[in-house]
A and B are shown apart, each in its own frame.
Chain A
Amino acid sequence: SAVISQKPSRDICQRGTSLTIQCQVDSQVTMMFWYRQQPGQSLTLIATANQGSEATYESGFVIDKFPISRPNLTFSTLTVSNMSPEDSSIYLCSVEKGDYEQYFGPGTRLTVT
C-alpha cells in the first residue's frame, strides 16, 4: 500500500489568487495523478504526472491554470492559478503502486470566495 499526505487539508482563498497543493508519498512511485471533485460530483482526472517528464493534461484542463511539478519520486505539487469560485472543489492526488492498485490522498478542500 501507500500512505499519502496532502497539504493543506483545506483552505479558503480569494478570487484571483493562487494556491499550491502538496502531495507527499511514503515510498517512491512512478505515476502520480491529480483529480478534482466538485461539490456533489464524482472525481475528474486533471492530469498525470510522471517524474522526469511534463505532466499530461486531460481535456478541459490546461497547464497555465493547473501547473504541476514532479521534482522526485515521492512528491508533487498542483497549483490552482487565478482562482474563481468555480474552482471550489476537493483536489486529490493518487499514486500507482505495484499490483495495479491506486491509492488516494485525503484531499484538499478549496473554497474560493
Chain B
Amino acid sequence: DAKTTQPPSMDCAEGRAANLPCNHSTISGNEYVYWYRQIHSQGPQYIIHGLKNNETNEMASLIITEDRKSSTLILPHATLRDTAVYYCIVRVAGNDMRFGAGTRLTVKP
C-alpha cells in the first residue's frame, strides 16, 4: 500500500473550517483514501473515504485532487470535540489499515 505524508500538527479556531492535507503521490488506481481520527486513548473513528470523486457526509468532506496524489479533509465548523489525531490512509479495499503518524489537530476557543 502507498504511504501518506501529513503535517504533524495543526491548529484551528473553534467554528472555523479545519482543512487537513494529505499527500499520497504513489497511490495506485485501486487504492482508496480513508480518514480516521483518534480522540485521546479511544479507538480510531472512521470519518470518510473516497476513490476519486469528492465525498461528503455528516462529519466531513473529502476533496481528492484530479491526479489523486493528494487530498484534503474538511471539517466545516470545527468544535473543541474535534481535537484529535487525524490519520490519512490509502489502501486497497479489504486490506489492512496501515497507520502513519497522523496530524494532531487542536481546536482552540
| Inter-chain contacts of B42 with A (CB < 8 A) | 106-107
Stretch at the interface among A12-20, A41-49, A65-73, A74-82: A41-49
Give chain B's interface residues, CB within 8 Å of chain A. Answer: 32, 41-46, 49, 87, 93-94, 96-102
Question: B99 to A104, Cβ gap below 8 A?
Answer: no
With contacts A100-B32, A100-B49 known, is A107 near B97, CB below 8 A? no
Q: What's the Cα separation between A50 and B83 when bound, in Å?
A: 34
Within 8 A of B (CB), among A20-69: 31, 33, 35, 42-45, 48
Hey, which chain A residues are within 8 Å of B96, CB to CB? 33, 45, 48
- Indicate if the CB atoms of A43 and B45 lie closer than 8 Å: no
Q: How far is the CB of B102 from chain A (nearest CB, A)?
A: 6
Q: Among B45, B87, B94, B96, find the residue whose CB has the most chain A CB atoms closer than 10 A.
A: B96
19 pairs, CB–CB < 8 Å, chain A vs chain B: A4-B43, A33-B96, A42-B87, A42-B99, A42-B100, A43-B97, A43-B99, A44-B99, A48-B96, A94-B43, A96-B94, A100-B93, A100-B94, A102-B46, A102-B97, A104-B44, A105-B43, A107-B41, A109-B41
Interface residues of A, count at CB 8 A? 22
The A interface, classified by DSSP as helix, strand, loop or mixed, is strand
Q: Are B94 and A31 in contact (CB under 8 A)?
A: yes
- Residue of B at shortest CB range from A6? B43
- Determine if B101 and A42 form an interchain contact, defined as CB atoms under 8 angstroms apart: yes
Taking the closest CB of chain B, its distance from the CB of A10, in whole angstroms, is 10
The 9 closest A-B pairs by CB, nearest first: A104-B43, A100-B93, A43-B99, A42-B99, A104-B44, A106-B43, A107-B43, A45-B96, A105-B43
Residue of A whose beta carbon sits closest to that of B100: A42
A101 at the interface (CB under 8 A from B): yes
In the complex, A90 has a CB within 8 A of chain B: yes
Q: Contact at B32–A33, with CB atoms within 8 Å?
A: no
User: How far is B40's CA from A107's CA once the two chains are assembled, in angstroms?
Assistant: 12
Contacts of A106 in B (CB 8 A): 42-43
CB-contact partner of B97 in A4, A33, A90, under 8 A? A33
